[in-house]
Amino acid sequence: MTFSDMLNIGLMQGFAGLSLFAVLLLMGLGLAIIFGQMGVINMAHGEFMAIGAYTVYMSALFTEHMAPGAMAYYFPLAIALAFGVAFVFGWIMEWALIRHLYSRPLDTLLATWGVSLGLQQCFRTFINPKEVSPTLPEWLMGSWAPAEGLDIPINGLFVLTLTGFVTAGVLLALHRSRWGLRVRATVANRTMANAIGIDTKKTDRLTFAIGCGIAGVAGAAFTTIGSTGPTSGQLYIVDSFLVVTFGGAASLLGTVVSAFGIAQTQSISEFFMTGSMAKVLTLSLIVLILMMRPQGLFASKVRR
């Protein structure tokens, strides 16, 4: 094997890590808003990812049967629909359950774990107990070859582009919109935010729903690189919490950096060892770093 071949393999392995990074970042962004900004441990976050993925799958089935000529165009609309469906479910869940459990993180963990199990059973009963995959449009298939022996999947490029847009949108919304101002004011001092006229309950509900909607987008992106089953979301929930905790619970910049580091470490390690050992190596490195820096990579300073 020549040096050029090894370099191409390393680049393709690194790009596979970027695809994992994109999904982890989208999941982590939603959790950073819900857990980092609100202090809610949402163990059903992975199921909101699955809701987004199943929305894309159902959209593909509907388009195939009702308008097969539109298969080339349905996917962007399905992503928007995945956000909307997950947003609505998140809004209902906050209203029905989460709003009664603020300042009780262990209770939110147990309650959302129960919701997680219930949603998994709903997926098995009403959709499909087996893994499913939507029919992707032709423009998402194939690969781009910038050099001989180097093939980069087009779906991976699309997921990275989508992740970039969503991340930029979240950052702009948090720092340039009225909603973001209200969120930051509530996080800094909830009592004072109420005193100046901010409806913190409405802000909490909207923030939780947006975090769930972003998880739905992560699920839509996931359909381009893997199949979806009732427990698919649970495969990413631990990694997503690691991303948020490692980066700093209230830092979106930390979420981006930690998602990239975790995804690349795991992907490159899998080239030299088994998947299980790569996971152990990644977790060990995270534990060592958190022992030296318990607040995470980018700890936000907020007034208590």
Confidence at residue 304, expressed as pLDDT on a 0 to 100 scale: 41
Radius of gyration of the chain (CA): 20
CA separation for the pair 198, 215 (Å, rounded): 26
CA 59, CA 136: separation in Å to the nearest integer?
A: 11
In this prediction the pTM is 0.88
Distance CA 178, CA 102 (A): 23
Sign of the CA dihedral with 77 first, then 82, 87, and 92 last? positive
pLDDT for residue 302: 47
Tens of pLDDT along the chain (304 residues) come to 565 665 556 666 666 667 778 888 999 888 888 886 677 889 999 999 999 999 999 999 999 999 988 898 999 999 999 999 999 999 999 999 999 988 788 899 999 999 999 999 999 999 999 999 999 998 888 777 766 666 677 888 899 899 999 999 998 998 899 998 998 888 878 889 889 889 988 999 999 999 999 999 999 999 998 899 999 988 888 888 888 888 876 677 888 888 888 888 887 787 777 777 888 888 888 888 888 888 787 765 544 4
Q: In which residue are the tokens 């997950």 written?
A: 86
CB-based contacts of 3: which residues, under 8 Å, 6+ apart? Answer: none
Whether the Cβ atoms of residue 34 and residue 207 lie closer than 8 Å to each other: yes
Burial class (CB in 10 A: 0-12, 13-18, 19+), 166: buried
CA-based nearest residue to 219, from 89, 25, 56: 56
Q: What is residue 186's predicted lDDT score, i.e. its pLDDT?
A: 85
pLDDT score recorded for residue 16 = 66
Three-class SS of the chain: CCHHHHHHHHHHHHHHHHHHHHHHHHHHHHHHHHHHHHCCCCCCHHHHHHHHHHHHHHHHHHHHHHCHHHCCCHHHHHHHHHHHHHHHHHHHHHHHCHHHCCCCHHHHHHHHHHHHHHHHHHHHHHCCCCCECCCCCHHHCCEEEEECCEEEEHHHHHHHHHHHHHHHHHHHHHHHCHHHHHHHHHHHCHHHHHHCCCCHHHHHHHHHHHHHHHHHHHHHHHCCCCCECCCCCHHHHHHHHHHHHHHCCCCHHHHHHHHHHHHHHHHHHHHHCCHHHHHHHHHHHHHHHHHHCCCCCCCCCCCC
pLDDT of residue 15: 64
Residue 197 near residue 203 (C-beta atoms within 8 A): no
- For residue 196, give both structure tokens: 């100046």
Each domain of the chain, given as residue ranges in start order, spans: 20-138+154-233
- Amino acid making up residue 154: I
